[in-house]
């Protein structure tokens, strides 16, 4: 493929999704983009995680064991961290990584809202995540959720890579029978609620019965590879039974014209929390937030990452010789 030029002001070479990649995302429910993030950037994030683990960097708002705590206590404490982009600059920067957003622009865009981040430490002996569908946890209306999972270590079956039920991206979002959470596609006449989503024990997690209808594929990855997956595909990871860590950084995004009634369990005003999530790419008629640490994105650099203006875009679909063609608007013809 022809290398894309780095536009003035852009820090990274643009990534353009191919037709084959687009199709793979639709057919499999996930897409691996190898080497999307540079090794030097992966090294920076890993060094930062080492500092958190060692107690040298404190995460604002989290009462974690300090440098003087025993290594075992620090190891046990850090399994995963939610929403670090709201308190640390480095995670905002990775959430809005231009090449990750390039892929999302093609898959769910053109307008992209950045909602959520997670950092998985997954040290030796730590557990995996049982069968689940991300759009159950983060509803977007219309439903356009997509995860971007950046491998920070080599991820294999032994240290707990991702697995996907290929084809389950066409399933609805199954409600939970807990009687508490209202999420899921409850308008479907005959949908049967499940119990125990995300529980690593398949006996206690009945989404395993839906996953069993599909081929189950493990997705091993190298550091810098990014796995994109839609909000409906059933996925999971096993525990880390190796002696190596399996670190990853995950962002969740949606089309910026979807309503997002979700703020990581925290209060928001009105019927959506869009005003608290960052506009990564394009434009939107809905509210959005600015990045707290000033990372360049559509919210603060619309000249670089905002809506692409295509001159003469409006066209009419008109019949010609028995088939459809695009013509200028009648108004333009009149004016000319």
Q: What is the per-residue burial (b if ≥16 Cβ within 10 Å, else e) of 272-306? A: bbbebbbbbbbbbebebbebeeebbbbbbeeebbb
Q: According to CB under 6 A, which one of 237, 258, 272, 284 is a site residue for ligand AKG?
A: 237
Q: According to CB under 6 A, which one of 29, 65, 109, 147 is a site residue for ligand AKG?
A: 147
With CB under 6 A as the contact rule, which of the stretches 66-74, 127-135, 260-268, 320-328 interacts with ligand AKG? 127-135
With CB under 6 A as the contact rule, which of the stretches 13-21, 38-46, 128-136, 188-196 interacts with ligand AKG? 128-136
Tokens in use for 199? 């529980």
Q: According to CB under 6 A, which one of 102, 105, 134, 176 is a site residue for ligand AKG?
A: 134
Instruction: For residue 64, give the nearest of 75, 51, 77 by alpha carbon.
Output: 77
For the chain, the farthest-separated pair of C-alpha atoms sits apart, in whole angstroms, at 80
Q: What is the per-residue burial (b if ≥16 Cβ within 10 Å, else e) of 137-165? A: bbbbeebbbbbbbbbbbebeebbbbbbbb
Q: Which is nearer to ligand AKG, 120 or 288 (CB)?
A: 120
Q: Under the criterion CB under 6 A, does residue 235 sit at the interface with ligand AKG? A: yes
Q: According to CB under 6 A, which one of 28, 126, 205, 248 is a site residue for ligand AKG?
A: 248
Q: According to CB under 6 A, which one of 28, 117, 123, 129 is a site residue for ligand AKG?
A: 129
Q: Under the criterion CB under 6 A, does residue 120 sit at the interface with ligand AKG? A: yes
Q: Under the criterion CB under 6 A, does residue 41 sit at the interface with ligand AKG? A: no
Q: Which is nearer to ligand AKG, 223 or 282 (CB)?
A: 223
Q: Which residues make Cβ contacts (< 8 Å) with residue 78, sequence separation at least 6?
A: 52, 53, 64, 121, 123
The answer to whether 90 touches 52, Cβ cutoff 8 Å, is: no
3-class DSSP state of 302: helix
With CB under 6 A as the contact rule, which of the stretches 126-134, 208-216, 265-273, 323-331 interacts with ligand AKG? 126-134
From the CB of 313, what's the least distance to ligand AKG, in Å? 36
Instruction: For residue 102, give the nearest of 184, 163, 36, 172 by alpha carbon.
Output: 36
Binding site for ligand AKG (CB under 6 A): 120, 128-129, 134, 147, 149, 160, 235, 237, 248, 250
């Amino acid at each position: 493929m022809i290398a894309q030029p780095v536009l003035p002001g852009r820090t990274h070479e643009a990534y353009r999704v191919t037709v084959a990649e687009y199709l793979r995302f639709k057919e499999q429910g996930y897409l691996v983009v190898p080497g999307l993030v540079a090794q030097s950037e992966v090294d920076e994030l890993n060094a930062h995680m080492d500092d958190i683990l060692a107690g040298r960097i404190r995460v604002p708002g989290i009462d974690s064991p300090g440098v003087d705590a025993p290594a075992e206590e620090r190891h046990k404490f850090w399994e995963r961290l939610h929403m670090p982009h709201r308190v640390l600059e480095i995670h905002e920067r990775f959430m809005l990584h231009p090449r990750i957003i390039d892929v999302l622009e093609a898959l769910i865009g053109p307008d992209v809202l950045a909602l959520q981040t997670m950092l998985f430490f997954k040290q030796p002996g730590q557990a995996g995540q049982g069968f689940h569908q991300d759009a159950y946890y983060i509803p977007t209306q219309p439903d356009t959720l997509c995860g971007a999972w950046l491998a920070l270590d080599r991820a294999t079956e032994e240290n707990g890579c991702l697995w996907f039920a290929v084809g389950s991206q066409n399933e609805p979002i199954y409600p939970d029978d807990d009687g508490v959470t209202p999420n899921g596609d409850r308008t479907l006449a005959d949908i049967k609620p499940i119990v125990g989503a995300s529980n690593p024990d398949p006996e206690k997690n009945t989404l395993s019965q839906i996953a069993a209808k599909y081929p189950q594929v493990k997705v091993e990855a190298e550091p810098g590879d990014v796995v994109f997956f839609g909000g409906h595909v059933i996925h999971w990871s096993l525990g880390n039974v190796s002696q190596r860590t399996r670190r990853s950084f995950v962002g969740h995004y949606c089309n910026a014209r979807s309503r997002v009634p979700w703020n990581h369990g925290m209060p928001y005003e009105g019927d959506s929390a869009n005003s608290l999530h960052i506009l990564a790419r394009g434009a939107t008629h809905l509210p959005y937030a600015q990045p707290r640490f000033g990372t360049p994105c559509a919210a603060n650099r619309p000249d670089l990452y905002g809506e692409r203006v295509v001159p003469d875009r409006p066209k009419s679909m008109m019949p010609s010789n028995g088939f459809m063609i695009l013509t200028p608007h009648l108004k333009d013809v009149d004016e000319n």
